Amino acid sequence: MQRHLFILTGASRGMGLAMAEQLLAQQNHLLCISRHANPSLASVAAQRNCPLAQWTLDLSQPEPAALRLKTWLDERDPAQILSATLINNAGVIPTIAPLRASGPAELAAAMRVNLEAPMLLTAAFLDATQGWRAPRRVLNISSGLGRRPMASQAAYCAAKAGMDHFTRCLALDEARLPNGAKVCSLAPGVIDTDMQVQLRGADSANFPDQSGFAELKSSGQLSAASDAAKRVLAWLARPDFGQQAVADVHASA
């Protein structure tokens, strides 16, 4: 049976879990890459007759993950794939503090998860699928913090800005190919996830914007993860997906 192939990182919680749940359909084949497997996904996948694989990998060590993905994709039968999509969703926020107070190991791990891993996985995905005739897409989940600076968030802001710009470069590469992938770095808006809990729970002495994040919650401005996932997947399904290399889910075009 021909299916649409989706590869999704960070699928064990938050918006990633919501996207995974919404992608579990008979016409799809889903590969999730996260630090932890989610048992509920397996049961839903069985109910919906959707092939599901869950790899438990630490993306702060992205090289093994990229090599494993390349090998796995090389083993697929392209004739059975209607389309192939990589969604780089996994992300972490290091300790919320000025850069001078950030430990080198934690900074390095954050940059690997937030920027290195998406680049390595994207390279592996595009290399393995370059001969496929099926449409290919890469969706990078970015953030408004990649487009505006924020105190005590240097690593996260820099990684998301890097994600935006590597996506712009990637779009130029793929536009030169006859079946180049469509790519987009998409900001999904503010979502009620564990990351928001970290931000509004931070020490205001170290994080001047703490009160603003607390206000987002108290005023009901945060999107539910399931709603955000619907908007992101709707953007992915747009016929003009990829015409904008960097976009915001709330933009109309």
Known catalytic membership, residue 156: yes
- What six digits make up the tokens of 149? 């600076």
Lowest mean pLDDT among 159-163, 176-180, 184-188, 221-225: 221-225
Cα angle 169, 170, 175 (rounded to 5 degrees) comes to 105
Comparing 34 with 222, which gets the higher pLDDT?
A: 34
- What is the reported pLDDT for 97? 87
- Residues 13-18, mean pLDDT to the nearest whole number: 93
Cα dihedral sign, 178-183-3-117? positive
pTM above 0.85, yes or no: yes
Q: Are strands 52-56 and 81-88 parallel, antiparallel or unpaired?
A: unpaired
**What percent of the chain stands above pLDDT 70?**
86
Neighbours of 71 (CB within 10 A): 11
| pLDDT above 50: residue 202 | yes
Span 58-78, pLDDT tens digits: 999 999 999 999 999 999 999
d(CA 192, CA 195): 8
**Catalytic residue selected from 156, 207, 235, 241:** 156
| pLDDT above 50: residue 92 | yes
| pLDDT above 80: residue 201 | no
Provide CB contacts within 8 A for 101, sequence distance 6+. Answer: 95, 206
